[in-house]
């Protein structure tokens, strides 16, 4: 049963329960928040069937930011939703209208072959269907207000969707990663994401605090799902952001900087997971978080060099 009409969609990216999008339904009208990659579009449309609404009943696709695991399928999905408009941070709008720069930037990180296989094609969104959501912009879903909050730190083009009706936030990546694989009796385990290329620790701290000040009952993360214990998780994120910045500074100037950071980040997360009551050990953690650790190291290095 969907709480407050909120449906969690597993986009199928990487592994089960890794990458989520959301469908909100209010009085027979729908809004998607994030959409996964090109390959996730059939799952998004199937979610409409499950919720009992049609593609023509969807008014909005709201993107938290334009990283491809959140927004890669936006153009293809919008093409399947005849009346929906795309809502995106002003800094991200041009990349949805013309995704060529976004594709080139991601290809520089991952390689063109991996891009094709992992993300699929990026389809442009017609400019007349794109709405730029500056800080405080309100999207109305059948009378239900959804407020867009500018939340930089992970990316300059990042927004969070605050849903006062449900008293929750849809946080994209600004409130970190919390995979259900790491849940214990102590609740969810969380870590920040500092992936390339716009990590800004001061901005990330401030964005987290801004969201906590709303006193939400829960956060809906793209990676992955609903988490509660908001103030505790925020405190965990603040501690780790500072720790990760410290590890980056310690590795700076070393010829093997990336490898050193990979190891030190793994040590940090493994120690915290063990304290959290997670018993599977460092190797299992490295297997589950390998992609995230690599991207976090890269993002910290870009920040150091900047």
Q: 238 with 257: CB under 8 angstroms?
A: no
In terms of Cβ atoms closer than 10 Å to its own Cβ (0-12, 13-18, 19+), residue 90 is middle
Backbone region of residue 167 per phi and psi (left: phi > 0; alpha: psi in -120 to 50; beta: other values): left
3-state secondary structure 85-141: EEEECCCCHHHHHCCHHHHHHHHHHHCHHHHHHHHCCCCCCCHHHEEECCCCCEEEE
1 confidence band (pLDDT: 50, 70, 90): low
For residue range 245-257, what is the model confidence (pLDDT) as tens digits? Answer: 999 999 999 999 9
pLDDT at 122: 87
For residue range 21-76, what is the model confidence (pLDDT) as tens digits? Answer: 999 999 999 999 999 999 999 999 999 999 999 999 999 999 999 999 999 999 99
Q: 200 with 303: CB under 8 angstroms?
A: yes
Please give the DSSP secondary-structure letter assigned to residue 56.
G
With a cut of 70, say whether residue 141 has pLDDT above it. yes
For residue range 74-103, what is the model confidence (pLDDT) as tens digits? Answer: 999 999 999 999 999 999 999 999 998 878
The tokens describing 84, both together, are 């929906």
pLDDT at 115: 82
Residue 33, CA atoms < 13 Å, CB-side half-sphere: 30
Spatial distance between the Cα atoms of 261 and 175, rounded to a whole number of angstroms: 22
Of the chain, the percentage scoring pLDDT greater than 70 comes to: 100
């Amino acid at each position: 049963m969907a709480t407050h009409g909120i449906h969690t969609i597993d986009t199928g990216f990487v592994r089960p329960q890794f990458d989520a999008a959301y469908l909100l339904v209010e009085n027979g009208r729908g809004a998607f928040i994030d959409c996964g990659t090109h390959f996730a579009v059939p799952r998004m449309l199937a979610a409409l069937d499950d919720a009992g609404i049609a593609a023509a009943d969807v008014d909005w696709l709201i993107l938290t930011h334009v990283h491809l695991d959140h927004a890669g399928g936006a153009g293809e999905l919008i093409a399947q939703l005849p009346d929906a408009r795309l809502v995106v941070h002003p800094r991200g709008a041009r990349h949805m209208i013309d995704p060529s720069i976004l594709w080139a930037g991601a290809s520089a990180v991952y390689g063109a072959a991996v891009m094709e296989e992992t993300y699929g094609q990026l389809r442009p969104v017609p400019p007349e269907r794109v709405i730029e959501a500056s800080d405080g912009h309100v999207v109305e879903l059948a009378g239900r207000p959804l407020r867009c909050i500018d939340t930089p730190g992970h990316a300059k083009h990042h927004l969070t969707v605050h849903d006062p009706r449900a008293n929750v936030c849809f946080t994209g990546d600004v409130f970190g990663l919390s995979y259900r694989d790491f849940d214990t009796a102590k609740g969810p385990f969380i870590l920040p994401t500092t992936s390339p290329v716009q990590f800004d620790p001061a901005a990330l701290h401030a964005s987290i605090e801004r969201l906590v000040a709303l006193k939400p009952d829960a956060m809906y993360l793209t990676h992955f799902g609903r988490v509660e214990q908001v103030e505790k998780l925020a405190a965990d994120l603040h501690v780790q952001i500072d720790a990760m910045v410290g590890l980056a500074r310690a590795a700076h100037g070393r010829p093997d900087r990336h490898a050193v950071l990979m190891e030190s980040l793994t040590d940090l997360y493994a120690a915290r997971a063990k304290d959290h009551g997670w018993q599977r050990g460092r190797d299992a953690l490295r297997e589950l978080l390998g992609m995230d650790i690599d991207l976090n190291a890269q993002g910290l290095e870009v920040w150091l060099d900047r």
